[in-house]
């Protein structure tokens, strides 16, 4: 079920009313309702993959308890948990990729390997919930978390529908106690939640989807477009992916608020960063902090010397890239970020006299690297980069003037809003309750009317494919 | 909780009231425009449809390819870029005049396109309040969207605000058009196209996987158009205009038999031009003004032959 569908709106209203009709003291019944709702939400897409979530849930629930109770064998149970989760990812997400790459490698040496691939679909959100359950087991092993004994609470934690298919990757330490404790209705959560949901929808269906309609043609066939079109597509894609994914996170966080949960912030104005390091502190925070805590630091972090720190940064970002999808383009994208992070530790990427252009330079650098992320193949990325540095600039391909006008209008409003957030040092998560009731009503009305007038027809969220 | 309920109610009321106001303002502007594919052309069509003898419906391959002038004064080309059979059906539903001739463009491949969901007809959502036949057709195909537009009126103007405002400001007072929009590629466009053809690796022949199954929605649309023809005693003719993409003979025969079985005329001109003359084309599927002129005359002759049969 997509957030930006009528089915979800009806579904959520029903769940919301039923959920709050249950008195807070019956928290277990509320959780059962949430669990059923989450499974319906996920099963709406493909009910067969519910078995996968259930399997992952059962395995990690029992292994969590085992890790906690076992003294000598805790590590074995942890390895079992990690292997199960990575095994699921390996089969459903990476198996075909590695097989195909293996075959291609041998082709270089003239051998034709007779290996066939699996005919499988990638289950939506598998990368998100497997990372979530893995962190649960690791936290218990590290004695940072006590496992829950309530299976319903754990199953609700794994599948809670606002964050099930595209994050944020919530940690058990933040979410499980919220699931187990009584939840009370607060007016502040309603104000913050409803405002954030409206902004999320605007970001997604007006800005991101309209940009997609404008630039997809260019990314799908870069060879027939001139340099100006390529440059336009590269810049606009940076905004598309930001507004698409942050929009999704906003709807997820806002929806969770309306159900009485506080999720962690997932985006904090990443394009206002003045370094790549800062960018990764502001972009997809739940993933970058996951990679930091469960990969970079265990690898040694910055504790084992400068050279090893560079290596650790590179490995972390390379695997972070691979997490996004089974394609060499994602590996390259992650690796470039790893190299940039490492170089940035040693040298100033931006000369001092250009420091005032920090934000712009970082934005352009990040936009440039997104080329690998969005292109359909490495060949396409090369064509785009080649064209960017060639002299073939002319009139860019605009397609529909109407879509372009919508894109510019949406971008203007959202960039202005982000500047407001940046200047006033306020998180989007708290804006709703900071406004007077009248202002809040007017803002949400303005946003809703704009969504009705300018939304672009429903398309998937980019991060669903990961 | 009380405070929260008031807030929710307040937001809902504010949205409904603002929605009606904004809708009213947009409708006021929209009613006065007669140019532009998003709304104006439909307004123009509504103005002339009951006094016109021949109407042409379809996509870009109708609007850029058939010049109504060859049929005389009383002909209008209601083709619109990017619109397909559902959009044409929506408009055909609104016809009242008896004994009209209605041409509807259909592409071989699109007839069997299982992915087609008819979403192009949603651009007519703003006209459902003015026409019950159109509303009933939309209710049949997209009931959810009609319901949403009943509650949130602005929804029916989705994606149209900028074009409406632009056309309101820039249109001439006395608009007169036959709907035809010929394409005149400049030298740069011609060069790009030549280059595309030169670098093309695959064949221009399109084939389809068997079995050839007509999309149920397309079938529904075709049936509705034929039914309207029967009611109004109008002549319905489906046609396929020229394209550089050629289609498997078997598919062409299947399409011909399909329309025969429906008891309606069908003209298949996909291979009217043999070979590639760059002066006649803008791209693989769209003819230039020169190509359109040649084709329109040919089509007119075919139409006369059909009439004399």
Delimit the domains of chain B by residue range: 35-143+173-308
Q: Which CATH number applies to B35-143+173-308?
A: 3.40.50.1110
pLDDT of residue A20: 94
pLDDT of residue B21: 97
Partner-chain contact B158 A455, CB within 8 Å? yes
Stretch B28-37: mean pLDDT: 90
Residue B127 has pLDDT above 80, yes or no: yes
Q: A395 touching B, CB under 8 A?
A: no
Interaxial angle between packed helices A227-258 and A378-388, expressed in degrees from 0 to 180 and rounded to the nearest 10 = 120
Among B243, B286, B236, smallest CA distance to B265 is for B236
Interaxial angle between packed helices A358-374 and A328-346, expressed in degrees from 0 to 180 and rounded to the nearest 10 = 160
Q: A10 touching B, CB under 8 A?
A: no
Q: From first to last of its 466 residues, what are the pLDDT tens digits of chain A?
A: 888 888 899 999 999 999 999 998 899 999 999 999 999 999 988 888 899 899 999 999 999 999 999 878 889 999 999 999 999 888 888 777 778 787 877 888 877 777 776 677 778 888 899 999 999 999 999 999 999 999 999 999 999 999 988 879 999 999 999 999 999 999 999 999 999 999 999 999 999 999 998 899 899 888 888 888 899 999 999 999 999 999 999 999 999 999 999 999 999 999 999 899 999 999 999 999 999 999 999 998 888 888 888 999 999 999 999 888 888 899 999 999 999 999 888 877 777 777 778 889 999 999 999 999 999 888 999 999 998 998 777 778 777 788 889 999 999 999 999 999 999 999 999 999 999 999 999 999 999 999 999 987 655 556 655 5
A interface mutation test: which of B3, B7, B142, B146 has the most A CBs within 10 A?
B7
Burial of A211 (0-12, 13-18, 19+ CB in 10 A): buried
Burial of A17 (0-12, 13-18, 19+ CB in 10 A): exposed
Give chain B positions within 8 Å (CB) of A409: 162
Partner-chain contact A452 B7, CB within 8 Å? no
pLDDT of residue A146: 92
Partner-chain contact A190 B4, CB within 8 Å? yes
The residues of A carrying an active-site annotation are: 324
Among A411, A420, A356, A454, smallest CA distance to A238 is for A411
β-pair partners for B236: B102
Stretch B114-133: mean pLDDT: 91
Evaluate whether B295 touches B65 at the Cβ level (below 8 Å). Answer: yes
Cα separation, A382 vs A279, whole angstroms: 25
Q: For residue B273, which phi and psi values (nearest 5 degrees)?
A: -95, 130
Burial of A461 (0-12, 13-18, 19+ CB in 10 A): buried
Residue B88 has pLDDT above 70, yes or no: yes
Q: How far is B127 from chain A (nearest CA, A)?
A: 16
Partner-chain contact B144 A453, CB within 8 Å? no
Give chain B positions within 8 Å (CB) of A455: 158
Picking from A224, A452, A455, the nearest residue to B196 by CB comes out as: A224
Q: How far is A223 from chain B (nearest CA, A)?
A: 10
Give chain A positions within 8 Å (CB) of B118: none
Neighbours of A128 (CB within 10 A): 23
Among B262, B203, B212, B226, smallest CA distance to B108 is for B212
Evaluate whether B124 touches B89 at the Cβ level (below 8 Å). Answer: no
Partner-chain contact A405 B158, CB within 8 Å? no
Give chain A positions within 8 Å (CB) of B22: 449, 453
A interface mutation test: which of B2, B17, B159, B160 has the most A CBs within 10 A?
B159
Residue B218 has pLDDT above 70, yes or no: yes
Mean pLDDT of chain B: 91
Give chain A positions within 8 Å (CB) of B196: 224
pLDDT of residue A278: 93
Residue B36: closest C-alpha in chain A: A402
Partner-chain contact A453 B154, CB within 8 Å? yes
């Amino acid at each position: 079920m997509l957030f930006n569908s009528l089915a979800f709106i009806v579904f959520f209203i029903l769940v919301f009313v039923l959920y709050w009709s249950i008195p807070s003291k019956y928290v277990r019944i509320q959780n059962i309702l949430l669990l059923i709702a989450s499974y319906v939400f996920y099963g709406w897409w493909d009910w067969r993959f519910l078995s996968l979530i259930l399997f992952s849930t059962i395995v990690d629930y029992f292994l969590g308890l085992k890790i906690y109770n076992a003294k000598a064998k805790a590590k074995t149970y942890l390895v079992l948990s990690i292997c199960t989760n990575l095994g699921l990812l390996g089969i459903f997400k990476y198996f075909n990729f590695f097989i195909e790459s293996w075959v291609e490698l041998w082709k270089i040496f003239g051998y034709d390997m007779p290996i066939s691939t699996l005919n499988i679909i990638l289950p939506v959100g598998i990368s998100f919930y497997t990372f979530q359950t893995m962190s649960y087991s690791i936290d218990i092993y590290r004695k940072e978390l006590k496992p829950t004994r309530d299976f319903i609470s754990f199953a609700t934690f794994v599948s809670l529908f606002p964050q099930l298919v595209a994050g944020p990757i919530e940690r058990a330490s933040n979410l499980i106690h919220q699931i187990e404790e009584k939840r009370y209705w607060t007016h502040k959560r309603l104000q913050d939640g409803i405002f954030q949901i409206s902004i999320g929808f605007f970001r997604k269906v007006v800005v991101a989807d309209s940009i997609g309609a404008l630039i997809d043609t260019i990314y799908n066939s870069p060879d027939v477009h001139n340099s100006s079109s390529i440059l336009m597509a590269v810049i606009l894609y940076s905004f598309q992916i930001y507004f698409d994914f942050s929009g999704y996170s906003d709807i997820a966080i806002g929806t969770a608020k309306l159900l009485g949960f506080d999720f962690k912030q997932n985006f904090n104005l990443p394009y206002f960063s003045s370094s790549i390091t800062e960018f990764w502190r502001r972009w997809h925070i739940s993933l970058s902090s996951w990679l930091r805590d469960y990969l970079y630091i265990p690898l040694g972090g910055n504790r084992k010397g400068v050279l090893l720190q560079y290596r650790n940064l590179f490995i972390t970002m390379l695997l972070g890239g691979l997490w996004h999808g089974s394609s060499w383009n994602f590996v390259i994208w992650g690796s470039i970020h790893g190299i940039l992070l490492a170089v940035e530790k040693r040298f100033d990427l931006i000369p001092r006299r250009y420091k005032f252009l920090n934000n712009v330079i970082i934005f352009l650098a990040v936009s440039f690297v997104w080329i690998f992320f969005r292109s359909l193949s490495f060949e396409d990325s090369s064509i785009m980069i080649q064209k960017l540095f060639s002299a073939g600039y002319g009139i860019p391909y605009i397609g529909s003037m109407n879509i372009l006008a919508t894109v510019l209008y949406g971008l203007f409003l959202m960039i202005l809003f982000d500047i407001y957030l940046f200047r006033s040092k306020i998180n989007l998560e708290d804006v709703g309750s900071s406004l007077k009731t009248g202002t809040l009503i007017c803002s949400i009305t303005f946003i809703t009317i704009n969504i009705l007038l300018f939304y672009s027809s429903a398309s998937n969220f980019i991060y669903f494919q990961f | 909780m009380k405070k929260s309920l008031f807030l929710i109610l307040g937001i809902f009321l504010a949205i409904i009231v603002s929605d009606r106001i904004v809708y009213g303002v947009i409708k006021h502007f929209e009613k006065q425009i007669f140019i532009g594919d998003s709304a104006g052309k439909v307004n123009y069509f509504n103005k002339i449809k009951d006094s016109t003898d021949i109407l042409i419906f379809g996509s870009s391959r109708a609007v850029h390819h058939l010049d109504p002038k060859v049929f005389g004064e009383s002909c209008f080309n209601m083709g619109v870029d990017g619109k397909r059979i559902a959009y044409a059906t929506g408009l055909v539903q609104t016809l009242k005049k008896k004994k009209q001739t209605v041409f509807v463009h259909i592409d071989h491949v699109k007839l069997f396109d299982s992915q087609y969901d008819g979403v192009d007809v949603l651009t007519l959502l703003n006209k459902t309040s003015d026409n019950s036949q159109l509303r009933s057709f939309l209710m049949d195909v997209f009931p959810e969207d009609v319901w949403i537009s009943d509650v949130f009126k602005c929804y029916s103007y989705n994606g149209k605000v900028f074009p409406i405002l632009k056309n309101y400001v820039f249109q001439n007072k006395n608009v007169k058009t036959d709907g035809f929009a010929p394409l005149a590629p400049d030298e740069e466009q011609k060069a790009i196209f030549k280059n595309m053809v030169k670098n093309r690796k695959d064949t221009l022949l399109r084939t389809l996987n068997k079995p050839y199954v007509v999309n149920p929605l397309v079938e529904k649309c075709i049936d509705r158009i034929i039914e309207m023809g029967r009611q109004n005693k109008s002549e319905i003719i489906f046609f396929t205009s020229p394209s550089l993409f050629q289609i498997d003979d078997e598919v062409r025969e299947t399409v011909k038999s399909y329309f025969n079985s429906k008891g309606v005329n069908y003209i298949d001109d996909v291979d009217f031009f043999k070979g590639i003359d760059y002066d006649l084309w803008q791209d693989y599927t769209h003819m230039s003004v020169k190509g359109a002129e040649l084709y329109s005359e040919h089509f007119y002759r075919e139409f006369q032959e059909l009439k004399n049969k």
